[in-house]
Structure 1
Amino acid sequence: MAKKKSKQIAVTLVRSPAGAKPRHRECVRGLGLKRMHQTVVLEDTPSVRGMVNRIDYMVRVAEA
């Protein structure tokens, strides 16, 4: 039986987490973002969407 291809999103850090709330900085690190303008491709899961929604002012999201 063929596997279903999971949806993925590309998350890019466009604003520095310096000066942000500690929980927001933890979300940035949890998504795997370390530098400005770095892009990571992640599975589109509810937990990832929750972190992205919390820091939506710092990241840009696109379908991968």
Structure 2
Amino acid sequence: MATIKVKQIKSKIGYPKDQKATLQALGLRKISQVVEVEDTPSARGMIRKVHHLVTVVD
């Protein structure tokens, strides 16, 4: 299955608990950390939820 690379670009400090939990579920803990997640509708929904904290890289 295809994958998406997601990079955390902003700190989670000061954001709601559900957004912090979403970053944790994606596997992101540090700024500039890049993780590879499967391209599923649920993963896309998580990325959309925290779109202001992450970016999709090539």
Runs of 4 or more above 2 Å deviation? none
Query: TM-score when scaled to structure 1?
Result: 0.86
Which residue in 2 is equivalent to 1:8?
A: 3
Structure number with bigger Rg? 1
1:62 matched to 2:57? The reply is yes
Q: Deviation digits for residues 10-54 of structure 1, max 9, x if unmatched?
A: 000000000001100000000000111000011000111110000
Higher helix share: 2
Segments of structure 1 that go 5 or more residues without pairing to the other structure are 1-5
Count of aligned positions: 58
Query: Is the aligned partner of 1:20 residue 2:15?
Result: yes
Q: Percent identity?
A: 33
Residue identity opposite 2:50 in structure 1: I
